[in-house]
Amino acid sequence: MKLETLVLPNQNKVMQSYNNDKEFIHTYFDYENKDASFQERLNELSERTFKRSELANVIRSYMEPFGVSELAEKHIAELAADGVAVVGGQQAGLLTGPLYSVHKAISVILLAKKQREDLGIPVIPVFWVAGEDHDLNEINHVHTVTDQKVTKNQYREKYVLKLMASDASYEQERMSTFVKEIFGTYGETAYTKDLLNDVLAAVAKEETFTGFFVRLMNGLFQEEGLLFLDAAYGPLRKLESEYFTRLILGSDKIAQVVLKKEERFAAGGFGHPIEVQADGAHLFYVHETGRVLLSKENGDFINDSVGIRFTEEELLEIARKNPRLLSNNVVTRPIMQDFVFPVLAFIGGPGEIAYWAILKEAFHHLHMKMPIIVPRMSLTLVTARTAQALQTKSFTVEDVMAGKVIAAREQEIDELRDDRLNLVVDETMSKLKGQYEEIRGLLEEQDLKMDELLKKNVGFHSMQFEYLKEKVEDAFLLKHDTLLRKYGEMESELYPEGSLQERLYTPFAYLNNYGPTLIKDLLRLPYKMDGTHKIIYL
C-alpha cells in the first residue's frame, strides 16, 4: 500500500471554519482539536461519575452474540475501571453501508491508540450504532458499478410501520439472494468464495439490519478490540433511565438554547443542520405504530399524528419504569452518549460536526462540556487496475475529482471521430427536404391538400436519419471501447456520480479485490489526522 494526501477543493463552509477559525470553534465548541485539549478534557471527566460497571456489563452482553475478542474483553474491563473512550457512530447499513463507516471506525481506533500513548491511561475505541434510526430507505441499498456506470441496488421489502433499524427484520433467503447479486457485480477473484461465504453466514445468524451490520463490522475490526453498542439495545435503556429523566426535566431549556444557537449558526451562513422546532421535545416515543417524535404543548409531551399526550410526570414514570419506550433524536443522542460514556473525543463527519455545533449550551445546561470533536479521516482507495489506468492516461486522482477526465475523454472522442458520415447524412436529409418542397409545390398547383401527410413523411425520414446517426455513434464507441473504457473506470471508482467514493461503495468490493488483510493493512499506514484527504493505492 502507498499513502498520499490531498487537500480537497470546495470543502464545505462548516469544515473550513472548524479547521481554520478559532473564533468559530470557541463559539460553537468547548475544546479546540489540539493536543493540549485532551488532558484538559481528561481533567473534566475525572470530576464526573459514570455507571462504569453497569456499562461494561451492557457492552459485554451486547457483544457476546457477535464474538468478544481478547482485546475487546480487556477494553471492557478498562472501561469498567478508569478508562475513557473515543467514540464514533453510524447508522446500520447493508454490507456495512458506505465506506465512511469503516473510515470512521479506523479513525476511532487510531485516535484511541494515540491518546492511550500520549496520556498514559486506557483509551478505548467505541462504535456507537444508531440502531434507533427508522429511515430504512437510507440504509436498504448498495451501490455497485456495471460497465462503468453506478447502479443503486435496493433490498426490497415492505415495512408498514416506522420501525427502528434494530427492530426491522429481513427475510434471510431474500437477503442472501440480494448479497449474491451484489457479489456477482464484483467479479470472481481468489478471495470471492470465502468472503461471500462469510457474509452469507452473517445473514443467516442475524435477523435485523443492525445485527447484520454489527456482525460484519465486528468481524472486520475484532483484532482491534473495537467495542460496539447499539443505541436501541434494551439493557442500555435501563441504564439510561435516570438520564432520560434529566432530558425530560430539561426539555424546555434544551429546546430554547438549541433553537437560539441554530439561529446564530444560520445567520453566520452555515445553514440549519437540525432545523430545530421551538416546540420540540427532542425525544421519540416507541408507539405501537412505530417510533414517533414528541413535541411540547402546554407542558405536555404530545404527538398529534398518533393521538398521544403525556404529562411531564407521566413521561417521567415511563422513563423510570419502561425506558425502552423512549429514544433520542439528533439533539439528545450526543448528550445521552456523554451521560453513558466517559467520552474523551467524538469522531464525526462533516454533517455530524455541523449539528454538534448547535449543542454547546444544551450540554452546559446539563452541567457538562462537549467532548473534543475530531473530524473523521476521509479516504479514497485506488485499485491496481485503476492505478494503471491513471498512469496510462497521465492522470492523478486529483485530476479525476476535478472533472478533467470527462473533458479528456470528450477530446479523445472528438479526435477519433470521423464526421464525414454525419455530414453526408445531414446533406442527404437536406436534399430530401428539398425534394419534398418540390412535391409540395406540385400538389399546390393541383389544389391537393396534403400538407399534413408531407410533414408526417418528412418527420419519419428525419427520425430514421437521427436513428442512423445514433447507431453510428454507438458503433463508433463500441469500436474504441477498450481505449475509452479506462476513462470510465477511473471516474466510476474514484469519483462516482461526482461524489467521493466513500459515500457510495461498501468495503466488500475492495476486500474482494485486495483480500482479507485490507483493514489490518489500512490501519498500519502512517496517517496524520490533519483534515487532508487520504489517497491509498492498494
Q: pLDDT grade, residue 481 (50/70/90)? A: low
CA-to-CA separations, 226 to 126, 215, 340, 508, 510, in angstroms, rounded: 6, 12, 17, 19, 21
Q: Is 285 exposed, middle or buried (0-12, 13-18, 19+ CB in 10 A)?
A: buried
Strand partners, 309: 302
Handedness of CA 60, 65, 69, 70 (dihedral sign): positive
For 76-98, what is each residue's pLDDT tens digit? 999 999 999 999 999 888 999 99
**Residues 168, 208: contact at Cβ < 8 Å?**
yes
Q: Is 187 exposed, middle or buried (0-12, 13-18, 19+ CB in 10 A)?
A: exposed
**Residues 231, 128: contact at Cβ < 8 Å?**
yes
Q: What is the pLDDT of residue 301?
A: 97
For 149-174, what is each residue's pLDDT tens digit? 899 999 987 765 566 777 788 999 99
Least confident range from 33-47, 428-442, 469-483: namely 469-483
Pick the closest to residue 5 from 439, 535, 367 (CA basis): 535
Q: Is 12 exposed, middle or buried (0-12, 13-18, 19+ CB in 10 A)?
A: middle
- Cell 494515540 locates to 114
Q: What is the pLDDT of residue 37?
A: 97
Q: Is the pLDDT confidence value at 479 over 70?
A: no
For the residues 10-26, what does the mean pLDDT come to?
Answer: 90
Q: What is the pLDDT of residue 130?
A: 86
Q: What is the pLDDT of residue 224?
A: 97
CA-to-CA separations, 204 to 22, 207, 208, 212, 416, in angstroms, rounded: 50, 8, 11, 9, 52
For 243-297, what is each residue's pLDDT tens digit? 999 999 999 999 999 999 999 999 999 999 999 999 999 999 998 888 899 999 9
Reduced to 3 states (helix: H, G, I; strand: E, B; else coil), residue 118 is: helix
Q: What is the pLDDT of residue 382?
A: 96
**Residues 370, 29: contact at Cβ < 8 Å?**
yes
For 212-247, what is each residue's pLDDT tens digit? 999 999 999 999 999 999 998 999 999 999 999 999
Reduced to 3 states (helix: H, G, I; strand: E, B; else coil), residue 57 is: helix
Q: What is the pLDDT of residue 3?
A: 95
Q: pLDDT grade, residue 496 (50/70/90)? A: very high
pTM above 0.75, yes or no: yes
In the chain, the percentage of residues whose pLDDT exceeds 70 is: 94
CA-to-CA separations, 439 to 5, 117, 227, 425, 464, in angstroms, rounded: 69, 91, 83, 21, 20
What is the identity of the amino acid at 380?
Answer: T
Q: How far apart are CA 396 and CA 441, in angstroms?
A: 62
C-alpha distance across the termini of the chain, in Å: 5
Q: What is the pLDDT of residue 476?
A: 58
Q: Is the pLDDT confidence value at 423 over 80?
A: no
* 396 secondary structure, DSSP code: -
Q: pLDDT grade, residue 426 (50/70/90)? A: confident
What is the identity of the amino acid at 58?
Answer: V
**Residues 389, 490: contact at Cβ < 8 Å?**
yes
Q: Is the pLDDT confidence value at 478 over 70?
A: no
**Residues 339, 243: contact at Cβ < 8 Å?**
yes
CA-to-CA separations, 318 to 244, 245, 315, in angstroms, rounded: 9, 9, 5
**Residues 319, 232: contact at Cβ < 8 Å?**
no
DSSP strands (E only) in 147-216: 149-154
**Pseudo-torsion of CA 350, 353, 355, 360, nearest 10°?**
-170
